[in-house]
Amino acid sequence: MTTTPGLAVRLPLGALSGLLAGFAALAVAELVAAAVRPAAGPITAVGGAAIDRTPTPVKDWAIRHFGENDKTVLQLGILAALVVLAVVLGLVALRFRRVGAAGVLIFGLVGAGAAVSRPDASGWTDALPSVVGAVAGAGLLYRLTGRLTLPPRAAAAPPGPDRAAGWDRRGFVVTASAAAVTSAGVGLLGRYLAGHSSQAAVASREAVRLPAPASPAPPLPAGVQLDVPGLSPFTTSNRAFYRVDTALVVPKVNARAWRLRIHGKGVARPLTVTFEDLLRRELIERYITLTCVSNEVGGPYVGNARWLGAPLSDLLREAGVRPPSRGGPADQLVARSVDGMTLGTPVEDVMDGRDAMLAVGMNGQPLPFTHGFPVRMVVPGLYGYVSACKWIEDIELTTFADFEPYWVKRTWAREAPVKTQSRIDTPKPLSRSRAGTVTVAGVAWAQHRGIERVQVRIDDGPWQEAELAAEASIDTWRQWSFPWRATPGSHTITARATERGGRVQTQKRTGTVPDGASGRPSVVVTVE
Ligand SMILES: Nc1nc2c(c(=O)[nH]1)N[C@H]1C(S)=C(S)[C@@H](COP(=O)(O)O)O[C@H]1N2
Ligand SMILES: [Mo]
């Protein structure tokens, strides 16, 4: 007579026990997180810690290959790892129940450690979701695997319908089903509560009425937009605007509760402003093109929007800040976001008269949550990672010597003005065209310096002038187009821009690290 079921039954049941325990642990953790702080949940915390510890080349590669899906890929990866882990612990628990359960607790501690060490952690309570979840998961695993081996006395009893194979089949099925149903319910409740807590933020965004700017954007000149199919529109819609950030869960900030503090070295009068305060100020509206330092030559991480915001230099002056050129002691402005990101911007740049702003509007709308609602920084001429802090809540005046922001700690340059770049939007790489006139068109940017010329070259031929669209301002990109008399064969089209003052976009190719990609865009096409 067997006292335990055969391996063919035990192994799958052990794995199932592990999976159920993992599911219960996560569900309970999410519920507790909804009460404590949604971002303190284990998946978000471990994911965030993983993002911060990912080496720069891998992160850059992930941004380039998965683009805006990079975070979904990471979360799926974490989930897959947890599934494997749960199965392994379930199998271990078949033989060593205590060890399996202890394993669940240890991983709970890893989650708790990740949660309390997040830069936006609110304290030891951030450990609660992982700890409580792990206790629930460990307890369940212990119980479930207990049902798979009967105590000697029970096993010796005459086999009945429920213990024919020497294990408490009914007990297992009842416990497992109850656990599955309860976990699903607990998980859904957690989701609901977390969603509910972001309702206030959503409502605060819906209630925003953007005021008219004291200084509206100058009307766009006629001819700023060329009529070429496949060419990027002059203004990028909010929906189409690229998104690059480290936030696994988009922060949902309640504008009514939002505050921005301005303080630090040389700040004679530290300030705290509310969202209402900002809206009451004299706002400016400007078209500004934003670019990511991770954008490869020809890449998609660039967009142009009409931003509405409060001039940053006015606020800094009210706080008593002087730029270094006027003897101010701080040369670096460190912006902090609600999710703990830090970005460092030269104080000189934001006070030199350019339209650096605390933006509240994007293309006539309050900022979308993904683009930093309620307030973000925008500084013309600098890559996003040294200027464009989303979900901003704190500005500290300091020095480059005293503080290294997030990306600078990860091998990116301290200072990063945007490099002059051009992009060929049409024809697409490896496309086929008919011989005759083919319109080559794209965009070119050199924010805060301006574009004065774009040229196109076919194969090794001479550089030929492209037609430039009208210039909205030196802070925006410019469209360009070139009527190419295409002849049959395979051809390489290359473009280069010249910034105001005559400096030509370099042909020297560099990668994105440490201060942005250089080189000229080219596409290969076939003409029939
Ligand atoms: N809080 C926060 N702000 C951030 C980032 C971030 O990861 N977190 N990424 C920066 C980078 S690298 C860029 S390029 C811009 C992108 O802004 P967008 O997502 O609105 O296009 O935001 C910047 N601001
Ligand atoms: Mo970026």
Domains and CATH numbers, the chain: 7-197 (no CATH), 259-410 (3.90.420.10), 421-527 (2.60.40.650)
According to DSSP, the residues that pair with 433 across neighbouring strands are 527
341 CA distance to ligand 2 middle (Å)? 12
Q: Whose CA is nearest to atom 10 of ligand 1?
A: 385
The pLDDT-based confidence of 2 (bands split at 50, 70, 90) is very low
Q: Is the dihedral of CA 50, 54, 58, 63 positive or negative?
A: positive
* Residues 420, 497: Cα–Cα separation, whole Å: 7
The pLDDT of residue 159 is above 70:
no
Q: Whose CA is nearest to atom 8 of ligand 1?
A: 245
389 CA distance to ligand 1 middle (Å)? 6
The pLDDT of residue 196 is above 70:
yes
Q: What is the pLDDT of residue 67?
A: 73
371 CA: nearest ligand 1 atom: 20
What are 66's two structure tokens? 């998965």
Q: Whose CA is nearest to atom 20 of ligand 1?
A: 371
Q: What is the pLDDT of residue 414?
A: 97
291 CA: nearest ligand 1 atom: 14
CA dihedral 264, 266, 270, 276 (to 10 degrees): -90
The pLDDT of residue 155 is above 70:
no
251 CA: nearest ligand 1 atom: 1
Q: Whose CA is nearest to atom 13 of ligand 1?
A: 384
254 CA distance to ligand 2 middle (Å)? 25
CA-based nearest residue to 62, from 52, 49, 74? 74
Q: What is the pLDDT of residue 465?
A: 98
List the strands of the sheet with 478-486, edge to edge: 421-426, 436-445, 478-486, 467-468
Q: Which residues surround ligand 2, an ion (CB under 5 A)?
A: 244, 292-293, 384-385
Mean pLDDT value across the chain: 93
* Residues 23, 41: Cα–Cα separation, whole Å: 13
517 CA distance to ligand 1 middle (Å)? 18
The pLDDT-based confidence of 154 (bands split at 50, 70, 90) is low
Q: What is the pLDDT of residue 32?
A: 96
Q: Strand 332-337 relative to strand 342-346: parallel, antiparallel, unpaired? A: antiparallel
Q: What is the pLDDT of residue 256?
A: 96
Per-residue pLDDT tens over the stretch 85-109: 999 999 999 999 999 999 999 999 9
142 CA distance to ligand 1 middle (Å)? 45
* Residues 118, 30: Cα–Cα separation, whole Å: 17
Per-residue pLDDT tens over the stretch 203-241: 999 999 999 999 999 999 999 999 999 999 999 999 999
- In the chain, what percentage of residues exceed pLDDT 70? 96
Q: Are 433 and 486 in contact (CB under 8 A)?
A: yes
Query: What residues contact residue 460 under an 8 Å CB cut-off, 6+ apart?
Result: none
| Angle, CA 55 vertex, CA 26 and CA 118 arms, to 5° | 40
Of 237, 248, 342, 385, the one to substitute when testing ligand 1's pocket (max ligand atoms within 8 A of C-beta) is: 385
44 CA distance to ligand 1 middle (Å)? 18
Of 68, 244, 383, the one to substitute when testing ligand 1's pocket (max ligand atoms within 8 A of C-beta) is: 244
244 CA: nearest ligand 1 atom: 19
107 CA distance to ligand 2 middle (Å)? 33
* Residues 380, 383: Cα–Cα separation, whole Å: 9
The pLDDT-based confidence of 344 (bands split at 50, 70, 90) is very high
383 CA: nearest ligand 1 atom: 14
CA-based nearest residue to 470, from 460, 462, 480? 480
Q: Residue ranges of the alpha helices (H) in 305-437?
A: 312-318, 347-350
Q: Which residues line ligand 1 (CB under 6 A)?
A: 241-246, 290, 292, 337, 339, 341, 371, 384-385, 388-391
* Residues 317, 16: Cα–Cα separation, whole Å: 63
248 CA distance to ligand 1 middle (Å)? 13
Q: Residue ranges of the alpha helices (H) in 117-168?
A: 128-147, 152-156
388 CA distance to ligand 1 middle (Å)? 6
